[in-house]
């Protein structure tokens, strides 16, 4: 049998990558720039892909372009092909010890990366073959980098206003928030919302996940509630600011414990608890490596 005359020509990896890139950018021009080829070459790749698949994948008009219904159906299949290939390459490279297992982990800035940094040192004692990079990030950046495979795992409080259907999650621990105000603690005495708002309260910038969470907590449905206080980028700067000024902040008790702070805070009269989770993209090529790391964390939650 002459296999060459019976086997259908299949799309190349670059053609599938270009198609996926087009979906991400929504533009032939931007997709071509991302793939580092000319727009005419990119257009030719898409025409060839459509010829090989046998259906129109991208609708083009003078007003622009977009995926056809058939293109929408083909997209996850193309992504699965590339993910499967990446997993195969990753597995054989690790099995052959060509490279060390590498994990890129994004940590929600307001959750506090020092806790994960401390945990990683314990993890290395048991898994010295791993290489782990940790990035301090905010919610939008985390979700974008997860989607674009720039990070493998995110440690965050799961958002309740985002579509997380592309991701799996694993619970790590529940964080309890407290009112930290070492210079005001004797005046406040009871950490009710009313008492807290009598004094300056350090908050995050408005674009932060924890800003929305804390604003909802302290506003209790009130519209246009004005909160006096500074806007600071992470819990560590807030704690340091409150150490030196007549101001308070609402932070996770676990962060204070990681900094060996044992006083200067009060339990909130109205409890605030958030579930810290690992989130990761389904069908990630590093699934085995990721599970080794996440399982270790779940088995040793007190280290985090």
What would the DSSP string read from start to end of 143-193? HHHHHTTS-SEEEEEPPSSS--TTEEEEEEEEEEEEEE-TTTHHHH-SB-H
DSSP one-letter code for 52: H
Q: Which one has a higher pLDDT value, 229 or 122?
A: 229
CA gap 227, 199 in Å, rounded: 9
Q: Residue 245: is it exposed, middle or buried by C-beta count within 10 angstroms (0-12/13-18/19+)?
A: middle
Q: Residue 5: its pLDDT value, please?
A: 45
Residues 58/37, Cβ–Cβ less than 8 Å: no
Helices marked H in the chain: 3-6, 13-25, 28-35, 39-53, 69-95, 113-126, 139-147, 185-188, 193-196, 209-219, 235-244, 253-258, 287-299
Distances from the Cα of 37 to the Cα of 10, 30, 32, 34, angstroms: 21, 10, 5, 8
Query: Tell me, what's the pLDDT at 59?
Result: 92
Q: Rounded mean pLDDT of the chain?
A: 84
- In this structure, are residues 182 and 247 in contact, taking their beta carbons and an 8 Å threshold? no
Please compute the mean of the pLDDT values over residues 68-76 and round it to a whole number: 93
User: For 41-51, what is each residue's pLDDT tens digit?
Assistant: 999 999 999 99
Distance CA 152, CA 291 (A): 11
**Residues 79 and 20 sit within 8 Å (Cβ to Cβ):** yes
> Mean pLDDT throughout 52-56?
93
Most confident residue range from 63-77, 94-108, 272-286: 63-77
Q: What mean pLDDT is predicted for residues 277-282?
A: 86
Which is it for strands 102-108 and 131-137: parallel, antiparallel or unpaired?
Answer: parallel
């Amino acid at each position: 049998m002459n296999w060459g005359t019976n086997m259908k020509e299949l799309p190349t990896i670059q053609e599938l990558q270009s198609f996926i890139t087009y979906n991400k950018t929504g533009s032939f021009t931007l997709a071509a720039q991302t793939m580092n080829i000319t727009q005419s070459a990119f257009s030719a790749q898409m025409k060839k892909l459509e010829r090989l698949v046998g259906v129109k994948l991208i609708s083009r008009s003078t007003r622009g372009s977009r995926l056809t219904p058939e293109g929408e159906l083909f997209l996850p299949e193309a992504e699965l092909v590339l993910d499967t290939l990446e997993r195969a390459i990753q597995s054989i490279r690790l099995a052959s010890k060509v490279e060390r297992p590498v994990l890129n982990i994004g940590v929600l800035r307001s959750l506090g990366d020092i806790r994960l940094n401390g945990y990683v040192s314990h993890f290395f004692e048991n898994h010295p073959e791993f290489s782990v990079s940790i990035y301090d990030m905010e919610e939008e950046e985390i979700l974008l980098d997860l989607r674009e495979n720039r990070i493998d795992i995110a440690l965050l409080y799961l958002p309740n206003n985002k579509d997380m259907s592309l991701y799996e999650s694993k619970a790590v621990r529940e964080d309890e928030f407290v009112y930290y105000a070492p210079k005001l603690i004797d005046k406040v005495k009871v950490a009710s919302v009313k008492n807290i708002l009598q004094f300056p309260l350090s908050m995050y910038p408005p674009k932060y996940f924890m800003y929305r969470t804390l604003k909802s907590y302290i506003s209790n449905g009130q519209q246009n509630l004005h909160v006096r206080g500074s806007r600071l980028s992470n819990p560590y700067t807030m704690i340091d600011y409150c150490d030196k000024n007549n101001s308070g902040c609402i932070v996770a008790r676990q962060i204070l414990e990681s900094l060996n702070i044992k006083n200067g805070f009060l339990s909130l009269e109205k409890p605030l608890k958030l579930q810290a989770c690992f989130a990761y993209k389904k069908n990630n090529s590093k699934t085995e490596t990721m599970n080794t790391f996440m399982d270790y964390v779940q088995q040793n939650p007190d280290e985090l």
